[in-house]
């Protein structure tokens, strides 16, 4: 049957099979009633029994079944937080950490940051004496191990969203396995939305010999237990496009408008890839619905990490009667967050994924096709409250024949510099022999060791150097930025470099929207520095401080006020960390050359040279001779200085350098003599 058949050149769909079946309904009810209706509630006793008797429990259950919000509460009610102990629950995503923590605090009727708290990088909302349930990112828990290698304050650690196989989750699981041997009283819960339980279970399964030892001392069963929480959503009817769509953004917007026009009430969840295409879709949809016939009742809401708190809350607030909510989200809504009331899902078939090529040593975030497993998860979001529909903006043929069954674990598609330094800092010397859930490629590992060696973080025995290596590991930033901060101490510009580091850690400090690009470019000129984007950041920061941190000033200058406020907090924390490491906080008073030298000391591996006789601004990376270009958002776009250093690369049709600064090539030898040894800088190896 052809359910959507838009005569005005919309998208054509046909439906095939439906997804899954059965189970509970929802209405308005007290918090306690709501809790009892969640599928995990029926498993409360079973879960607590497994945690009591097994060192590791693996819990699999559909998104929305209550794993994240309920299990930590069950544990607390059962006494696992008594005697000053803490229950930890990790999430791969920062936004999910904040969201579930505030939900659990609300359910328990306590103030967030007291009994229930959370920690993400640069934001700690916990109380040392009061917090009993703590949500945190897996990356933050890894960092905590640097001060407390056995994570001794935690009685139970729940590693949530394990199916996502984020870089930090994989490393964390390897380390927790080690900790378990030293702390038999520690309990692990590994929870996941899909059935990847077997692999994790055999990973945690001890050898026969150790199992025999374990039974002698009457400790918990070392063999992991697996529990599957039943209770799936309602039927979801799947629709595919008849022909591939040329522009998924436009197709997604038309599909939403058709649903709104032709389908019964119920909220819509649209999966796009990132802030840029989400913002574009929000705008397109708002424009179209303003011109449209029946579009008055649409409430259009974006959802991505970095969204201000108030906007996040809107996404979770109930839809007013007679209105229809359209949430336009990254894959954060795939499994990490549950939105009630979604009946229609529009799936672009793409997400932003990290890819790393160890040969070229280039890591980039690219928009790539999702896996079948992700597509099923996305569709499942439509069946929470009643039977739903999922519109896939790709063909059935494509789903069946082209989509991979599962995604590749992030550890196998990432640059490993940060992971290697962390493992080293935790005393794991033999990185190649580490107990990996999935081994990264040896090329990637060697690349990471090479970069860390050239940064002076590792010595020739691949041990952390003292003090540089240990200090770089202490700073919760990419080692290249951390090294820049250390170098700024010698150059007398730590204040400036810390400001730059804080601003670079924001996704973007500019407000960009379709149609305002020209104004934004003009505004940027007010701050633009001839040296490049890093120095431009310093100008923006100075302007913000001089405006008395005014939101009006930000608005006028197309600057994201929330990002600036957060950057100030990050900056304060970095200053404290720097002081702890003995770095003298000092400003270079406008001598920008030393700032550029400090950046070169950390980022020399990202040096690029403009191709001689290049008319279109082609650069080549010095290390691997890759073709790269300056990103149009950079103040150096079209300026094309001869030598530059970039902060990161983004790939679309080409590899673009984001946040670029011009340098003098002689600084490269000064910064890394072992890396650039000739008159004309050339990499030594490979
Ligand atoms: P799981 O971890 O199994 O995916 P959750 O524990 O996250 O499930 O969610 C269980 C239920 O709690 C959801 O179905 C939803 O009703 C409710 N819930 C979770 N987070 C929020 C929130 N921030 N606001 C309102 N309700 C929420
Ligand atoms: Mg969850």
Write out pLDDT tens, residues 160-216: 999 999 999 999 999 999 999 999 999 999 999 876 778 888 899 886 555 555 555
120-124, 219-223, 245-249, 474-478, range with the lowest pLDDT: 219-223
Q: How far is the CA of 310 from the centre of ligand 1 (A)?
A: 18
Q: How far is the CA of 65 from the centre of ligand 2 (A)?
A: 8
pLDDT mean over 518-538: 93
Residues with Cβ within 6 A of ligand 1? 38, 61, 63-70, 99-100, 103, 316, 338, 340
Residue 318 CA: which ligand is closest? Answer: 1
Distance of CA 105 to the CA centre of its chain: 23
Distance of CA 230 to the CA centre of its chain: 29
pLDDT of residue 7: 44
Statement: residue 439 has pLDDT above 50: yes
Q: How far is the CA of 414 from the centre of ligand 2 (A)?
A: 24
Strand partners for 298 = 324
Question: What mean pLDDT value characterizes the chain?
Answer: 90
Statement: residue 78 has pLDDT above 80: yes
Complex ipTM more than 0.90, yes or no:
yes
Statement: residue 614 has pLDDT above 70: yes
Asked if 559 contacts 510 with a C-beta cutoff of 8 angstroms, the reply is yes
Residue nearest ligand 1's atom 22 by CA: 103
pTM, two decimals, is: 0.90
pLDDT per residue over 313-358, tens digit each?
A: 899 889 998 899 999 999 999 988 889 899 999 999 999 998 998 8
Query: Which residue, chain included where needed, has tokens 């009643």?
Result: 386
CA-based end-to-end distance of the chain: 58
Closest CA to 342 of 396, 263, 288: 263
Q: How far is the CA of 244 from the centre of ligand 1 (A)?
A: 34
Helices 94-108/309-316 angle, 10° precision = 60
Residue nearest ligand 1's atom 5 by CA: 66
- Dihedral sign for Cα atoms in the order 302, 166, 123, 416: negative
**Cα 395 from Cα 242, distance rounded (Å):** 6
Residue nearest ligand 1's atom 16 by CA: 340
21-25, 268-272, 372-376, 555-559, range with the lowest pLDDT: 21-25
pLDDT of residue 685: 45
**Cα 115 from Cα 121, distance rounded (Å):** 20
Helices 167-182/417-425 angle, 10° precision = 20
Residue 340 CA: which ligand is closest? Answer: 1
* Mutation pick for ligand 1 pocket among 25, 59, 103 (CB with most ligand atoms within 8 Å): 103
* Mutation pick for ligand 1 pocket among 36, 41, 59, 64 (CB with most ligand atoms within 8 Å): 64
Three-state SS string over 58-111 comes to EEEECCCCCHHHHHHHHHHHCCCCCCCCEEEEEECCHHHHHHHHHHHHHHHCCC
Distances (CA, A) of 136 to 87, 130, 359, 643: 11, 16, 34, 41
Residue 62 CA: which ligand is closest? Answer: 1
Residue nearest ligand 1's atom 15 by CA: 338
């Amino acid at each position: 049957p052809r359910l959507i058949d838009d005569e005005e050149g919309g998208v054509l769909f046909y439906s095939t099979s439906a997804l899954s079946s059965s189970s509970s309904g929802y209405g308005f009810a007290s918090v306690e009633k709501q809790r009892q209706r969640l599928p995990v509630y029926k498993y409360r006793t079973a879960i607590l029994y497994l945690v009591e008797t097994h060192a590791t429990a693996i819990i699999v259950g559909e998104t929305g079944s209550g794993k994240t919000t309920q299990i930590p509460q069950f544990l607390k009610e059962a006494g696992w937080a008594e005697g000053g102990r803490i229950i930890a629950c990790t999430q791969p995503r920062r936004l999910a950490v904040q969201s579930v923590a505030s939900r659990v605090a609300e359910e328990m009727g306590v103030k967030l940051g007291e009994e229930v708290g959370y920690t993400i990088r640069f934001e700690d909302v916990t109380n040392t004496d009061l917090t009993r349930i703590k949500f945190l990112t897996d990356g933050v828990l890894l960092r905590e191990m640097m001060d407390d290698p056995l994570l001794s304050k935690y009685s139970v650690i729940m590693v949530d969203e394990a199916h996502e196989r984020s870089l930090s989750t994989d490393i964390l699981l390897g380390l927790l396995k080690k900790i378990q041997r030293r702390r038999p009283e520690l309990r692990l819960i590994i929870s996941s939305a899909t059935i990847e339980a077997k692999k994790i279970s055999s990973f945690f399964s001890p050898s026969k010999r150790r199992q025999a030892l374990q039974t002698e001392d009457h400790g918990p069963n070392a063999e992991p237990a697996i529990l599957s929480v039943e209770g799936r959503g309602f039927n979801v009817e799947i629709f595919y496009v008849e022909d591939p769509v040329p522009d998924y953004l436009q197709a997604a917007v038309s599909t939403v408008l058709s649903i709104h026009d032709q389908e019964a009430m119920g909220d819509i969840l649209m999966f796009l890839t990132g802030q840029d295409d989400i913002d574009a879709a929000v705008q397109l949809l708002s424009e179209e619905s303003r011109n449209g016939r029946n579009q008055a009742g649409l409430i259009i809401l974006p959802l991505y990490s970095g969204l201000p708190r108030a906007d996040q809350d809107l996404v979770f607030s109930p839809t007013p009667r007679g209105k229809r909510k359209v949430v336009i989200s990254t894959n954060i809504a795939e499994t990490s967050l549950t939105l009630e009331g979604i009946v229609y899902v529009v799936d672009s078939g793409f997400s932003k994924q990290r890819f790393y090529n160890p040969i070229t040593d280039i890591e980039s975030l690219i928009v790539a096709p999702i896996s079948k497993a992700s597509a099923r998860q996305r569709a499942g979001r439509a069946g929470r409250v009643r039977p739903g529909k999922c519109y896939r903006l790709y063909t059935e043929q494509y789903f069946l024949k082209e989509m991979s069954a599962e995604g590749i674990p992030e550890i196998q598609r990432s640059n490993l510099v940060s992971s290697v330094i962390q493992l080293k800092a935790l005393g794991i010397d033999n990185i190649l022999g580490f107990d990996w859930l999935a081994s990264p490629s040896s090329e990637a590992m060697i690349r990471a060791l090479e970069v860390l060696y050239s940064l002076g973080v590792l010595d020739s025995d691949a041990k952390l150097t003292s003090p540089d290596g240990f200090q770089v590991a202490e700073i919760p930033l990419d080692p290249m930025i951390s090294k820049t901060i250390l170098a700024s101490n010698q150059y007398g510009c730590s204040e400036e470099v810390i400001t730059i580091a804080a601003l670079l850690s924001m996704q973007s400090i500019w407000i960009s929207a379709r149609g305002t690009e020209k104004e934004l470019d003009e505004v940027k000129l007010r701050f633009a520095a001839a040296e490049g984007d890093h120095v431009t950041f310093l100008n923006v920061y100075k302007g913000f401080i001089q405006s008395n941190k005014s939101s009006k000033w930000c608005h006028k200058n197309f600057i994201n006020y929330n990002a600036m406020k957060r950057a100030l907090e990050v900056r304060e924390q970095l200053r404290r960390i720097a002081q702890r490491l003995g770095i003298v906080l000092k400003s270079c008073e406008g001598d920008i050359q030393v700032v550029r030298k400090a950046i070169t000391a950390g980022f020399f591996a990202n040096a690029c040279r403009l191709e001689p006789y290049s008319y279109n601004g082609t650069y080549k990376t010095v290390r691997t001779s890759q073709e790269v270009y300056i990103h149009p958002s950079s103040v150096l776009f079209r300026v094309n200085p001869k030598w530059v250093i970039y902060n990161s690369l983004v790939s679309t049709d080409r590899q673009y350098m984001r946040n670029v600064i011009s340098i003098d090539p002689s600084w490269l030898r000064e910064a890394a003599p072992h890396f650039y040894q000739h008159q004309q800088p050339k990499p030594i190896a490979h």
